[in-house]
Structure 1
């Protein structure tokens, strides 16, 4: 199918019902639109000019569950977005969502208008399905190769790089920076999470800063870019992905993004991916962690987070620290120990951070030494206890 075929059908429907008509792809990005009939709003105008209606509008539409609809429905208005209500008619064929037919101000549509929309949607489905088959085969092949490049064995990574280059994707990249987005969305279907991730990653990948490749695997999304980027640009990019996923899924959904360092070409992209995955794990695990975390900011957690989930239990803590925890029901001594070690064993600094007198601090430290049987004057003891205290923050990892 050529784009002109779909455009002619959209124009014909618009003239028949005397209304503006638009066709979006399943990610709510504009495929084609008719001329205006005086019913346009700011979201439609923006979409016609920019090929998408903006992340907030897309998030609002996706939050209605439109990608799961099997029949027409109404997307409510959003005054803060200057967005009027829309009739959304999913276009499906053989169960596949191929597009979203949109008409503004559904309440004024007549029965004849609705009938014309239904007839046109059926005809459009046949045209779109032919494109879908070819495009989906390419997408699946490309994403499969990207996943192998980032997550496969050495042999599979080499084959994936060759396959990507042979298809004209990511040829000759001398740099590779990987971001990993992970979604925790209780009560949401896998398909909803995947659509939200794909929409957010595709929005970022349309940026012309670098060549991008993306892949989605369940609740994880991978974004590979083949040019170095400023740190703040990467942080803003990750924040955009996290926000758009949250907006799309709503409720208690959370999306975190880990960002690896820039590797020396596609052959080393897996290194950046491993770093990014570790950073994402820290973002969803550590208390008060930001939604976007760089691997290079992890400090000692870059090492501690290499411990497999099934090994990360209280049994891994030093026996002396477990003894302290058992004898410190209110956690006062454990917190004192943590602050003291974080301040490099400086009594004045630790006392100031805890807002207590130095005499009280030294009394608590004496209690800690009695319970643990360890001298805090010993460097090895301080190191073991400090690592244990840091590890405690990881023990509630929900993965």
Structure 2
């Protein structure tokens, strides 16, 4: 299982000082979280700690249900401070929450313990005086790391781009700058999530939060680029990531995004094929884009598409979205669907083709007598005018069935 190395989330001395001074003035515990309600720093106790705060201090982060509850209050969109209601069943007392923004960017959440929601005007004024200083300090610390981060992201996108010259230049600069080891194995993962336009900034923050822990694991080193509603993760290592490692990683990413954004964001993951080092990572990237489209269109994949397991879908999904429409369905298949009992015959046809035309295995799978199966297959041939003993005719029908699955309407379906 891929285990991300724990990233230190302790605030700077300057932030710690600001939080402690405010807490001492208020005589209340104060906590500073990032936009995903992950712990940055905290004051000492003032006898008002609840079960949630104690667990957060011990674990270094809040439980997923707490994060989801806080984010569901819409704090990422709040334009003014307010109270977060307590929840006895979660062990959460009420808190006074101040969204910390600088130049339009949400940097974090300042939380003041207020179990009875009884902050005085003087206390609120003190919080209002401290919040801008905390936001300014956070912004300065973010800016300090932004230049290197932006440069690494630009090089990663160049490494995965369409230009061979650009890929070569990016590869060389990444190696010379020590940003990425020239390991023999490479894998690219693409993650997509959607949210309302008002919450688009939250999506970008959530994507980064869900993937940043996988930039350095026990098995791989990597780079991450987040642009809008898409994140790209390149991982390289001395050995290819095992299937179970990739599966565990994808599961954790989807679960994290569901926690941060809710299932309505429809997060999907696409995993490219394993390639021979960073120079060929662009191939894995192109494959991961297709796999992400598959994850969006095919519910049975469980929101995670892996190029190596897509089969014929890997070919069909090379078609642009405008081409994936009912006109692609072969006429014989359309005729079969429109015939009396056509849907039952289509199910029989699919089972027959998936069992390589084996009558015994198909009859067993459908739990019908072979005589009944022969009768249905005869009907299919008469209606479609195709010969199920002809490999080309079977291919037409099989591809048609796969296209039909891609065209099936999905809730909230948008092109990946």
TM-score (norm 2): 0.86
The equivalent residue for 2:19 is 10
Instruction: Say which is worse superposed, 166-175 or 332-341, in terms of deviation.
Output: 166-175
Alignment of 1:42-121 (within 5 A): 42-79=51-88, 81-105=90-114, 107-121=117-131
Any idea what SS the aligned residue of 2:407 has?
coil
Q: Measure, in 2, the Cα distance between the counterparts of 1:87 and 1:212.
A: 38
- C-alpha change, 1:207 and 1:103, in structure 2 (3 Å) is farther
Give 1:285 deviation, angstroms. Answer: 0.8
Q: Measure, in 2, the Cα distance between the counterparts of 1:105 and 1:156.
A: 55
Mapped pair 1:319 → 2:331: yes
Q: Measure, in 1, the Cα distance between the counterparts of 2:192 and 2:93.
A: 32
Greater RCO, 1 or 2 (C-alpha within 8 Å, sep 6+): 2
Q: Measure, in 2, the Cα distance between the counterparts of 1:258 and 1:95.
A: 31
Q: Deviations for 1:13-50, whole angstroms, at most 9, x for unmatched residues?
A: 11111122222233433332222223233443444455
Give 1:355 deviation, angstroms. Answer: 3.0
Matched-pair contact (CA < 8 Å) for 1:201–1:223: yes
Q: Deviations for 1:48-89, whole angstroms, at most 9, x for unmatched residues?
A: 455432444333333332222221123333455433332221
Q: Deviations for 1:207-229, whole angstroms, at most 9, x for unmatched residues?
A: 55432322222222222222243
The equivalent residue for 2:166 is 156
The equivalent residue for 1:127 is 137
Instruction: Say which is worse superposed, 3-12 or 202-211, in terms of deviation.
Output: 202-211
- C-alpha change, 1:79 and 1:275, in structure 2 (3 Å) is farther
Any idea what SS the aligned residue of 1:176 has?
strand
Alignment of 1:359-398 (within 5 A): 359-396=371-408, 398=413
Q: Deviations for 1:332-383, whole angstroms, at most 9, x for unmatched residues?
A: 2222211111111122322232233322222221121112211111122112
What is the root-mean-square deviation in Å for CA atoms of aligned residues? 2.6
- C-alpha change, 1:317 and 1:219, in structure 2 (3 Å) is same
Matched-pair contact (CA < 8 Å) for 1:369–1:375: yes
Q: Measure, in 2, the Cα distance between the counterparts of 1:108 and 1:292.
A: 47
Unaligned runs of 5+ in 2: 1-10
Matched-pair contact (CA < 8 Å) for 2:181–2:236: no
Q: Measure, in 2, the Cα distance between the counterparts of 1:60 and 1:237.
A: 24
Alignment of 1:1-399 (within 5 A): 3-79=12-88, 81-105=90-114, 107-185=117-195, 189-205=199-215, 207-227=217-237, 228-250=240-262, 252-328=264-340, 330-396=342-408, 398=413, 399=415
Give 1:120 deviation, angstroms. Answer: 0.7
Q: Measure, in 2, the Cα distance between the counterparts of 1:281 and 1:304.
A: 11
Any idea what SS the aligned residue of 1:171 has?
coil
Give 1:144 deviation, angstroms. Answer: 2.7
The equivalent residue for 2:3 is none
Number of residue pairs aligned between Structure 1 and Structure 2: 398
- C-alpha change, 1:203 and 1:105, in structure 2 (3 Å) is farther
Q: Measure, in 2, the Cα distance between the counterparts of 1:105 and 1:223.
A: 40
Q: Measure, in 1, the Cα distance between the counterparts of 2:215 and 2:93.
A: 28
Q: Measure, in 2, the Cα distance between the counterparts of 1:92 and 1:234.
A: 36
Instruction: Say which is worse superposed, 160-169 or 277-286, in terms of deviation.
Output: 160-169
Unaligned runs of 5+ in 1: none
- C-alpha change, 1:154 and 1:60, in structure 2 (3 Å) is farther
TM-score (norm 1): 0.89
Any idea what SS the aligned residue of 1:393 has?
helix
Any idea what SS the aligned residue of 1:53 has?
coil
- C-alpha change, 1:226 and 1:72, in structure 2 (3 Å) is same
